[in-house]
C-alpha cells in the first residue's frame, strides 16, 4: 500500500477511511484462483464494507454478494450484481424482505430455521413463485475465534442442526413453492485455523451425499466466509490449502462452490486516519486524544480488537499511552497501554486493517457525523462517500419538532 495519508488529510480533512482498491483486486484474484478447478462464485459479504464503490469494484471483478438484509441486497443490485449471484442470509428476515428477495429473483435464500422456512413457503405461495432455498447448517464446531464472532456452535443463534436440516430439505422437496438448491455453513469470522473449517465441510458434504441418496440433489454448497487477515502477527490459512480441503470433500459431486468472504477481501485494504487533538497526563497515565472515536471504528471497544497503530511523525521519544477519542465513554479507545511517540497537535495517526467492519459498524453517537471514505486505485484517489454534516444527521427528525 503506497498511500500518502498526509496529502489525503489536506484534501479531505480527518478523520477518514481510505481503501486500497488494488489490494481488494489482489485478494479477489487470489481466492478465485484457488478455486479455479471448479465452478465457483465468490459472493462478497457486503456487511464487511458496504460502500457502493467497494461493492461495484468487486462486482466488476466478477463477484456476487452475500447479503444479510434487503438493504444489502439492494446495494448489490444497485451496482449491477446480477440477481443470480446474490444470496440472502440471516436469522431474522422479515416478511417484506423475503417478499422482495423473491421478487428480485436472487440465487437463493439461506434459511436459518424451520419457522423461517414455513414463512418463505407461505410468501412464495402467495406470490405464485418457487423459492430457491439453501439451508444453513450449524455443525456444532468450535471455530477457535473471538466468542462474539463465532457462529458454528449450537449455543450460537445461527443455522439449524443436521437433523432439522434434513427434515427441512424433505419439506422443500414435498413443496411446490420451495426448491432446495443449496446448503450453507459459516462457522465464524477471523478464522486462522483450517481444521475446524475442514471438519464442518466434511459434515456438510456428508449431508449433501445423504440427500442425494434420497433424490434431493443440490447444485450449490456455500462454505461461508470467515478467512482471517493479519492484524498483528497471525498465521493465516493458506488459500490454496483451504480450497484444496473444500474440493477434496466435493469429490464426485456436481456442485458449484460458493464462498462468502468479507474481511479477507477488504480488511487489510482499509486504514482509518485520524489526527491528534491533545495530549494529557492524568496522574501518571498518558492519553493521546484524537479526532476519531469509537463511533467511527468500534472494534477495539467492542472486541478489544488489536489494530496496528502508527503516529506519522519523526519523534523518537516513545512512551506508554492510551489512544482515545472525544466520546464521553471510558470505552472510547483505539488502544490501551501502547508505546507511541510524543505527539503534537494535528499529527496524523494511521489505524491499519480497518477496511472490514469499520465504517459499516459506525454510528452517529454523540451526534458525530460519519467520516469520509476515500478509494485509491492505481495511485489515484477519489471520494466515495462524503463526510456527513450536522444537517445530514438531523434530516429525518427536523420536520417533527413541535
Ligand atoms: C453468513 C455469513 N457469511 C459471511 C460472513 C463474512 O465473514 P467474514 O468477514 O469473516 O469473511 C459472515 C460474517 O461472519 C456471515 O455471517
Ligand atoms: N463485526 C465483526 C465481524 C462480524 C462477522 C459477521 N458475522 C468484526 O468486526 O470482527
ipTM score of complex: 0.98
CATH number at residue 343: 2.40.37.10
* Confidence check: pLDDT of 370 > 90: yes
Distance 215 CA to ligand 2 centre (A): 37
Instruction: Indicate if 172 belongs to the active site.
Output: no
Q: What is the mean pLDDT of residues 186-197?
A: 94
Question: Is residue 75, in this structure, part of any structural domain at all?
Answer: no
pLDDT at 148: 79
Average pLDDT of the chain, as a whole number: 96
Strands 86-88 and 64-67 come out as parallel
pLDDT at 185: 96
Q: Is 147 annotated as a binding residue?
A: no
Question: Is 89 a pocket residue for ligand 1 (Cβ < 6 Å)?
Answer: yes
Q: What is the mean pLDDT of residues 242-249?
A: 94
Number of domains, the chain: 2
Question: Is 357 a pocket residue for ligand 2 (Cβ < 6 Å)?
Answer: yes
One domain, residues 218 and 365: no
Q: Write the residue with the smallest CA distance to atom 4 of ligand 1.
A: 225
Which atom of ligand 2 is least distant from the CA of 357? Answer: 9
Q: Write the residue with the smallest CA distance to atom 10 of ligand 2.
A: 357
Strands 270-282 and 86-88 come out as unpaired
Question: Of the candidates 259, 285, 307, which is a domain's last residue?
Answer: 259
Question: Is residue 300, in this structure, part of any structural domain at all?
Answer: yes
pLDDT at 114: 96
Distance 188 CA to ligand 2 centre (A): 9
pLDDT in tens, 11-61: 999 999 999 999 999 999 999 999 998 899 999 999 999 999 999 999 999
Q: Is 260 annotated as a binding residue?
A: yes
One domain, residues 136 and 179: yes
One domain, residues 237 and 282: no
* Confidence check: pLDDT of 311 > 80: yes
Question: Is 88 a pocket residue for ligand 1 (Cβ < 6 Å)?
Answer: no
The cell 465457483 sits on which residue?
Answer: 40
Distance 110 CA to ligand 2 centre (A): 18
pLDDT at 153: 87
Rounded to the nearest 5°, which phi and psi values hold at 188? 155, 180
Distance 103 CA to ligand 2 centre (A): 29
Q: Which of 42, 43, 44, 45 to mutate to test the pocket of ligand 1 (most atoms within 8 A of CB)?
A: 45
One domain, residues 173 and 274: no
pLDDT at 149: 74
Distance 360 CA to ligand 1 centre (A): 13
Which residues lie closer than 8 Å to 272 by C-beta, 6 or more apart?
15, 16, 17, 292, 296, 297, 307, 350, 351, 354, 358, 371
Q: What is the mean pLDDT of residues 360-386?
A: 98
* Confidence check: pLDDT of 402 > 90: yes
- pLDDT band, very low/low/confident/very high, at 150 (cuts 50, 70, 90): confident
Q: Is 209 annotated as a binding residue?
A: no
Give the CA dihedral 95, 100, 102, 106, nearest 10 degrees: -130
The cell 494511521 sits on which residue?
Answer: 350
* Confidence check: pLDDT of 288 > 90: yes
Q: Is 71 annotated as a binding residue?
A: no
Question: Is 189 a pocket residue for ligand 2 (Cβ < 6 Å)?
Answer: yes
One domain, residues 175 and 273: no
One domain, residues 235 and 308: no
One domain, residues 363 and 250: no
End-to-end alpha carbon distance in the chain: 51
Rounded percentage of the chain residues whose pLDDT exceeds 90: 95
Q: Is 303 annotated as a binding residue?
A: yes
pLDDT at 348: 98
pLDDT at 156: 87
Question: Is 299 a pocket residue for ligand 2 (Cβ < 6 Å)?
Answer: yes
Which atom of ligand 2 is least distant from the CA of 186? Answer: 7
Q: Is 382 annotated as a binding residue?
A: no
Question: Is 231 a pocket residue for ligand 2 (Cβ < 6 Å)?
Answer: no
Question: Is residue 23, in this structure, part of any structural domain at all?
Answer: no
Cell of 237: 490459512
Residues 19-28 as b/e (b if ≥16 CB within 10 A, e otherwise) read bbbbbbbebb
Question: How far is Cα 46 from Cα 75, in angstroms, rounded to an integer?
Answer: 9
Question: Of the candidates 212, 238, 259, which is a domain's last residue?
Answer: 259
pLDDT at 287: 98
One domain, residues 229 and 299: no
pTM of the complete model beyond 0.90 = yes
Question: Is residue 337, in this structure, part of any structural domain at all?
Answer: yes
* Confidence check: pLDDT of 1 > 80: no
Question: Of the candidates 259, 279, 298, which is a domain's last residue?
Answer: 259
| C-alpha of 259 from chain center | 12
Question: Is residue 141, in this structure, part of any structural domain at all?
Answer: yes
Which residues span the domain enclosing 352? 5-16+268-395
One domain, residues 158 and 134: yes
Question: Is residue 110, in this structure, part of any structural domain at all?
Answer: yes
One domain, residues 161 and 187: yes
Q: Is 399 left (phi over 0), alpha (psi -120 to 50) or beta?
A: alpha
Question: Is 12 a pocket residue for ligand 2 (Cβ < 6 Å)?
Answer: no
Q: Write the residue with the smallest CA distance to atom 8 of ligand 2.
A: 357
DSSP secondary structure string for all residues of 84-147: GGEEE--S---HHHHHHHHHHT-SEEEE-SHHHHHHHHHHHHHHT--EEEEEEB-------S-G
Question: Is 149 a pocket residue for ligand 2 (Cβ < 6 Å)?
Answer: yes
Distance 48 CA to ligand 1 centre (A): 8
Question: Is residue 95, in this structure, part of any structural domain at all?
Answer: yes
Question: Is residue 319, in this structure, part of any structural domain at all?
Answer: yes
Q: Is 365 annotated as a binding residue?
A: no
pLDDT at 236: 96
Question: Is 99 a pocket residue for ligand 2 (Cβ < 6 Å)?
Answer: no
- pLDDT band, very low/low/confident/very high, at 143 (cuts 50, 70, 90): confident
pLDDT at 8: 98
pLDDT at 65: 98
One domain, residues 176 and 293: no
CATH number at residue 200: 3.20.20.10
Q: Write the residue with the smallest CA distance to atom 12 of ligand 1.
A: 225
One domain, residues 375 and 306: yes
Rg of the Cα atoms in the chain: 23
Distance 357 CA to ligand 2 centre (A): 6
Amino acid at each position: 500500500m503506497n498511500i500518502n495519508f498526509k496529502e489525503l488529510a489536506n484534501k479531505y480533512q480527518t478523520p477518514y477511511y481510505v481503501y486500497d482498491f488494488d489490494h481488494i483486486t489482489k485478494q479477489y484474484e487470489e481466492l478465485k484462483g484457488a478455486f479455479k478447478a471448479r465452478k465457483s462464485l465468490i459472493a462478497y459479504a457486503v456487511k464487511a464494507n458496504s460502500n457502493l464503490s467497494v461493492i461495484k469494484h468487486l462486482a466488476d471483478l466478477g463477484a456476487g454478494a452475500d447479503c444479510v438484509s434487503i438493504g444489502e441486497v439492494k446495494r448489490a443490485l444497485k451496482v449491477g450484481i446480477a440477481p443470480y449471484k446474490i444470496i440472502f442470509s440471516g436469522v431474522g428476515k422479515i416478511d417484506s424482505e423475503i417478499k422482495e428477495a423473491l421478487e428480485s429473483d436472487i440465487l437463493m435464500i439461506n434459511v436459518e430455521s424451520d419457522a423461517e422456512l414455513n414463512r418463505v413457503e407461505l410468501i412464495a405461495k402467495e406470490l405464485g413463485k418457487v423459492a430457491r432455498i439453501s439451508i444453513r447448517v450449524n455443525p456444532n464446531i468450535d471455530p477457535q475465534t473471538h466468542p462474539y464472532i463465532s457462529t458454528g456452535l449450537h449455543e450460537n443463534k445461527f443455522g439449524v442442526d443436521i437433523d432439522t436440516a434434513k427434515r427441512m430439505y424433505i419439506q422443500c422437496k414435498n413443496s411446490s413453492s420451495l426448491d432446495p438448491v443449496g446448503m450453507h455453513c459459516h462457522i465464524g469470522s477471523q478464522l486462522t485455523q483450517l481444521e475446524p473449517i475442514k471438519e464442518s465441510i466434511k459434515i456438510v458434504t456428508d449431508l449433501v451425499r445423504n440427500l442425494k441418496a434420497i433424490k434431493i440433489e443440490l447444485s450449490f454448497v456455500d462454505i461461508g466466509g470467515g478467512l482471517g487477515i493479519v492484524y498483528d502477527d497471525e498465521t493465516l490459512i493458506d488459500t490454496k490449502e483451504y480450497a484444496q480441503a473444500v474440493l477434496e470433500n466435493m469429490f464426485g459431486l456436481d456442485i458449484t462452490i460458493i464462498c462468502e468472504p468479507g474481511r479477507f477481501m477488504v480488511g487489510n485494504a482499509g486504514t482509518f486516519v485520524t489526527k491528534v487533538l491533545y495530549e494529557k497526563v492524568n496522574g501518571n497515565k498518558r492519553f493521546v486524544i484524537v479526532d476519531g472515536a469509537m463511533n467511527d471504528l468500534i472494534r477495539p471497544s467492542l472486541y478489544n480488537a488489536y489494530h496496528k497503530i502508527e503516529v506519522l511523525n519523526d519523534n523518537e521519544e516513545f512512551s506508554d499511552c492510551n489512544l482515545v477519542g472525544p466520546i464521553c465513554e471510558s470505552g472510547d479507545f483505539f488502544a490501551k497501554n501502547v508505546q507511541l511517540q510524543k505527539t503534537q497537535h494535528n499529527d496524523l495517526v494511521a489505524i491499519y486493517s480497518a477496511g472490514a467492519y469499520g465504517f459499516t459498524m459506525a454510528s452517529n453517537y454523540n451526534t458525530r457525523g460519519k467520516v469520509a471514505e476515500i478509494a485509491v486505485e492505481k495511485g489515484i484517489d477519489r471520494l466515495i462517500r462524503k463526510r456527513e454534516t450536522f444537517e445530514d444527521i438531523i434530516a429525518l427528525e427536523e420536520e417533527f419538532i413541535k
